[in-house]
Structure formats: C-alpha cells, structure tokens
Amino acid sequence: MQQETAAPMEFEYALYQSLKAIYPTLSVRGMSKLLGKSPGYWSSILAQQLPVSNPSLVHLLDALECQKILSPPGTPKATKIAAVQGSIVRELTLRFELQTGLEQLGEYSFTQREEPTYDALPFIVSCY
C-alpha cells in the first residue's frame, strides 16, 4: 500500500507556523539561518514551491536540540520544540521511505524515544 504525501508545501507552512509559535520574532531570513542556509533560502523555496532539503531539516533538528537543551525541561517552550522535532523526524522518515521503498520491508518504523536528561551541557557534533 503506497503512502500518500501531504499536499505540496503543507509541511513547510506548518513548520514555519510551529516555529513562529516558539519564536514570535522569527523572520524568513531567520528561518533560513535556522536551516543553515543563506538568508534568501526560505523565500526562494517557497516561491518555487520546492520542499525543504533533507540536509536543511537535519541542520534544523540540531539547532532545535541545542535550544531544547538550553530550555528548562518540561517548560512549554521545550515541549513545543520537541513537538516540532517530532514532526521533522516524521517528515524525514516519510521521505526516506518513499525514496527507498523500505516501507515494504516492515522493519523500519518511527518510535517515540524517551527524552534524555542532561546533567551537564553535552557536546553536540554534526557530521555532513
């Protein structure tokens, strides 16, 4: 059974609105920066009706993880950040499944993991 993708740009609009709820002063240039791209990236992909690139979403996950670590656990901000991260992971999982056909194997599924607790500020490393 083939999974249907969301309407074009639906994920991107929902992502921006979710981040706007966390960061009310977020601009399109700020959104581009969160994605690790040049200031005009977000405007450009919206104008061309292109999906956000997978590497940009991974960069955003890293940036949000840093923000979540800096927020006290259990606060509304940390909860909203975790929700946005969950939606990004689901989108990436869907893209990955649709590109590779792994959904037919039934071995790969998205599972919610327990929230980590931090005693000291950990080092975060991203690989490109």
Block means of pLDDT (10 residues each) for the chain, 128 residues, are 59 93 93 93 92 92 91 90 92 77 52 55 54
Q: What is the pLDDT of residue 82?
A: 92
Q: What is the pLDDT of residue 62?
A: 92
* Phi then psi dihedrals of residue 94, to 5 deg: -60, -45
CA geometry: angle 43, 76, 27, nearest 5 deg: 15
Q: Is the alpha carbon torsion for 35, 113, 79, 3 positive or negative?
A: positive
Q: Which tokens in the block code for residue 89?
A: 């992971």
Q: What is the pLDDT of residue 8?
A: 66
Residue type for position 31: M
| pTM of this structure | 0.70
Q: What is the pLDDT of residue 3?
A: 47
Q: What is the pLDDT of residue 2?
A: 45
Rounded Cα–Cα distance for residues 28 and 95 (Å): 24
Closest CA to 3 of 111, 85, 106, 88: 106
Q: Which residue has the tokens 């946005």?
A: 84
Q: What is the pLDDT of residue 93?
A: 86
Q: What is the pLDDT of residue 38?
A: 93
